[in-house]
Structure 1
Amino acid sequence: MIELAPEHRESVDGAIDRALTRLAARAQPHGESAQALTSAVHAAASDGKRLRPALVVAAFTAYGGDTDAVPALWDVAAAFEILHTALLVHDDLIDRDDERRGIPNVSGRFRARAQSFGADAHGTAVVADAAAVLAGDLLLFEATRLVATAALTDVERDQLFAVLDEALLVSAVGELADAEHAARADLPDAEALLTAAHDKTAVYSFRAPLRAGAILAGAASHPALADAAAALGLAFQLVDDLIGTFGSRSQAGRDPGADLREAKRTPLIALARQSESWSRVSDALAEAHTGPIAVRRAQREIEASGARAGVEELVRANLRRARAHAASPELPPPAVMLLAGIADAIERRIP
C-alpha cells in the first residue's frame, strides 16, 4: 500500500506524539487511573502502518501541494491516524477483543489492572469496557482538536470538518449495521453486508483522507477523487475479508481463518449462502471454531461454493470502477497515478 516517506513519517509521528503528550500532561494531576488511561491511549496509537496519514500526504502532493509550505498538513494527517485508532479501540470493545497486533489493547490492559486490585469477573468486565469507551472518546476529541487548532483558513477548516463529520457518521452507521447483522437469527443478504463493509471502512480510511489532502492543496472540487476512493475502500475491505478467511498468519496478523472461527458474517459468507452447496458450507462453518482442521474444511467448502471467486470478482469490479473514476479529466496526472497505484496495491493483497 501507500507508505509515508521516512521524513514524512517523522512529521506525522511527531504531531501524534505532541497531541498525546499534551493529553497525558493534562491527565497527570488527576491521579493514577487517569495516567493509566492516557498511557493506554498512547500505546494504542503507537506504531501502525499509518495508511490514512499516508493517503492525506499523497493526495496533497498529487494535487501540487508543497509539504514545506503547509505545516497544518502534519496535524491533519495525524488527526486521521488518531481517528483510526479511536475507531479501532471502539471496534475491539464491540468485538470483545482484548488484543490488537498481538499485545493487550486498552480493554486488555484494564482487564489486567482490574484483576490486580481484586475485581471479580463482573467488575473486571465493567472496568475493561469503561476504559475502552473512554479511551476511544478521548481519541475522537484529539482528532477533532487537531483539525480545530491547525493553521488553516476558515474555508479549509469548514471543509475538513465536513469531511470528518461524514467519516464519523458513516463509520458509526456501518459499525452498528455490522453488530446488528451479527445478532440476527438469519443471515443478511450480500447487498446489506456489502453496504456495511463499505460504511465501516471506505469513507474514513480512503475517501476522507484523500479528500482532506486535496483540500489542503487547494483543490476546489474533487468528486472523481471521492468516487474513486469509495470504490477503493470497498475493494480494500473485501480483500481484508478474504485475508481473514484464507490469508496466511503473516498477512492476517493472527491465526489463519480467524474470521471463520469467530463466525463473522461477511459478503463472502453471503455469497456462499446463495450457492447450491450452502448446506455443506453451513455444516463446515458450524465446526470451524473447533480447530485448524475444521477451519481448513470450511475454507475448502467456501472455495468450492464459488464464493471466494465471487468476492475476488467484486474486488476487481470495484478496482475497475475506481480506475474509471480516476481517468476523469478533472484529476491532475499525479492524482491519476496515485489512485492507480492504490488500486494495484489492493489487487496485490488478494490472498
Structure 2
Amino acid sequence: MAPAALHAPPGPADAAELAQAVEDVMAVTEQVLEGFLTERTARARGVAPACGHLWSDLSGQVGGKLVRPRLTVAAYLGLGGSDPRAVAPVAAAQELLHTAMLVHDDLLDHDELRRGRPNVVGATRARLSARGFAARVVDEQAHAAGLLAGDVALASAFRLVGRAPVEPSVRVELVELLAAGIETAVDGELLDVASALLDPEDSQPLLVAELKTADYSCRLPLVTGAVLARVPEARAGLALVGTALGIAFQVADDELGVFGDPQVTGKSVVSDLREGRRTELLRLAYRDADAAGRAVLDAHVGRPDLDEAGAAAVRAVLVDSGALARTREVAARSARLARELAVATLPAPLAEYLGGVVDDLAGRGR
C-alpha cells in the first residue's frame, strides 16, 4: 500500500518554478564539487606525484548529468527546503558515491573506458605503459589505482556530508543513510558478480538492479533530500518512487548496453555480451528463444573475442524471441509505477518534476 499524501512545508508553486530552483542550487553544488576536487588534488600532489595522478584521474571521472545530486536537491526544495549551503555538499556527496561505484564496477568488469575516455585504470595503464614498464607491472599498478581511487571517493562522500552546515543529529542520520546505501550497493554488486556462476535463466537481474543501482542512485538521494528538509513523513513515498525509478533506469540502461549508439551513450554495445552480463534482457532471451536462437546465444554470449557480426546475431535473437519487447515492458511498467507513486504521495510540483525525470531516464533506450 502506498503511503498517504503528505502535507509538506510550502515549496515552489509549480514544477517549472521547482525546476529553475533546482538548476540554481545545482550551480552551487557543482561549485562545491569542483572546489572539493581541486582542494584534494592539490593536497595529494603535495604528498607525492603518484597521489596527484590518482586524484587527477579520479576527478576526470566525476561529472555527466549529475542525476543523483539533482534528485537530492529536487527532493529538498520540493519539500520546502531553502538553504543551498546545507544541501549542496550533501548533494555533491551523492556524485562522489556514484563515482566510487563506477570506478569499482569498471574494475570488476575489466573496463578501462568510461564515457568514451580512459577511466582511472585506463589512464594509469596508459601513463605507465608510456614509461616502458613491463605488462605485468602495469596490470598490478592499474588495478591498485582503480581499487584505491574508488576507496578514496567513498571516503570523500562522507567528508562532504561532514562539512554540511546542519545540526549534528541531521548529520548523523545522513551518515547512516550513506553507509546503508553503500552496504546495499555492495550486496547488489556481489550478486551481480556471482550471477556469472548461474545459467542466465536462473539469475535475478531485477533484484540486482534494485540493490546495485536503484537504491543508491535514486532512493538514497531522494530520501536524503527529505531528511535535509526535515519532512520525515516523505521518506516512505520517496523510497518507493526511487526504487521504481531506479529499476526502470537500469533496465533501460541494459538495453543501451546492447542496442544503444556508442557515439551518444559513450558505452560499448558488445562489452556486456562479451562479459555475458546477466541482464533481464538476456534472461528473457534464454527463457523465450527457440532451440536455434538458444544455440546462437550459447555460441556467442560470454565470448571475450565476440565481434560485431556475432553481436548482431545475438541482437537478432533478442528481437525475434520477444525479449527486447518484454524488457521494454518491464521498464515501462516500473516507470509508470514511479509516476503513480509520486502523484499519490508527494506535493504536486515535486511529483511533476520527478515525472519528467522518469521520462528522461526510463525512455533512454527508445
TM over 0.5: yes
Q: Comparing 57-66 with 319-328, which one deviates more in the overlay?
A: 319-328
- Which of 340, 353, 359 is 1:324 aligned to? 340
Contact 2:21 2:77 in 1 (8 A): no
Task: State whether structure 2 residue 51 is matched by structure 1 residue 34.
Answer: yes
> 2: distance between equivalents of 1:3 and 1:268?
37
5+ long unaligned stretches in structure 1: none
> 2: distance between equivalents of 1:42 and 1:346?
24
Q: Which residue of 2 aligns with 1:294?
A: 310
SS in 1 for 2:111: coil
> How many equivalent pairs are there?
344
Q: Which residue of 2 aligns with 1:244?
A: 257
- Which of 246, 253, 262 is 1:233 aligned to? 246
Q: Aligned in 2, Cα 1:212/1:170: closer, same or farther, shift over 3 Å?
A: same
Q: Which residue of 1 aligns with 2:285?
A: 272
Q: Which residue of 1 aligns with 2:64?
A: 48
Correspondences of 1:2-21 after superposition (within 5 Å): 7-21=24-38
5+ long unaligned stretches in structure 2: 1-18
The CA RMSD measured in Å over matched residues stands at 2.2
SS in 2 for 1:118: coil
Correspondences of 1:1-351 after superposition (within 5 Å): 7-45=24-62, 47-66=63-82, 69-182=83-196, 184=197, 186-187=199-200, 189-190=202-203, 192-221=204-233, 222-277=235-290, 279-284=292-297, 286-287=299-300, 289-328=305-344, 330-351=345-366
Contact 1:181 1:188 in 2 (8 A): no
Taking structure 2 as the reference length, the TM-score comes to 0.87
Deviation (angstroms), 1:267: 1.2
SS in 1 for 2:172: helix
Q: Comparing 273-282 with 231-240, which one deviates more in the overlay?
A: 273-282
Contact 1:284 1:294 in 2 (8 A): no
> 1: distance between equivalents of 2:147 and 2:358?
34
Aligned-partner residue type, residue 319 of structure 2: E
> 1: distance between equivalents of 2:115 and 2:150?
17
> 2: distance between equivalents of 1:9 and 1:225?
20
Q: Aligned in 2, Cα 1:9/1:92: closer, same or farther, shift over 3 Å?
A: same
> 1: distance between equivalents of 2:358 and 2:246?
10
Q: Aligned in 2, Cα 1:325/1:282: closer, same or farther, shift over 3 Å?
A: farther
Q: Aligned in 2, Cα 1:126/1:3: closer, same or farther, shift over 3 Å?
A: farther
Q: Comparing 23-32 with 126-135, which one deviates more in the overlay?
A: 23-32
Q: Aligned in 2, Cα 1:185/1:237: closer, same or farther, shift over 3 Å?
A: closer
> 2: distance between equivalents of 1:254 and 1:310?
23
Q: Aligned in 2, Cα 1:296/1:3: closer, same or farther, shift over 3 Å?
A: farther
> 1: distance between equivalents of 2:291 and 2:315?
13
Deviation (angstroms), 1:99: 1.3
Deviation (angstroms), 1:131: 0.6
Q: Comparing 204-213 with 159-168, which one deviates more in the overlay?
A: 159-168
Higher relative contact order (CA 8 A, sep 6+): 2
Aligned-partner residue type, residue 252 of structure 2: V
Deviation (angstroms), 1:256: 3.7
Contact 1:108 1:128 in 2 (8 A): yes
**Moved beyond 4 Å, runs of 4+:** 2-6
Q: Aligned in 2, Cα 1:265/1:4: closer, same or farther, shift over 3 Å?
A: farther
Deviation (angstroms), 1:257: 4.6
> 2: distance between equivalents of 1:254 and 1:197?
18
SS in 1 for 2:81: coil
Q: Comparing 116-125 with 81-90, which one deviates more in the overlay?
A: 116-125
> 1: distance between equivalents of 2:254 and 2:298?
15
Contact 1:232 1:343 in 2 (8 A): yes
> 1: distance between equivalents of 2:54 and 2:363?
38
> 1: distance between equivalents of 2:297 and 2:152?
42
Q: Aligned in 2, Cα 1:256/1:117: closer, same or farther, shift over 3 Å?
A: closer
Contact 2:28 2:84 in 1 (8 A): no
Percent of pairs identical after alignment?
36
Deviation (angstroms), 1:309: 1.6
> 2: distance between equivalents of 1:119 and 1:3?
51
Deviation (angstroms), 1:18: 2.0
Q: Aligned in 2, Cα 1:251/1:115: closer, same or farther, shift over 3 Å?
A: closer
> 2: distance between equivalents of 1:70 and 1:3?
13
Aligned-partner residue type, residue 346 of structure 2: L
Q: Aligned in 2, Cα 1:103/1:272: closer, same or farther, shift over 3 Å?
A: same
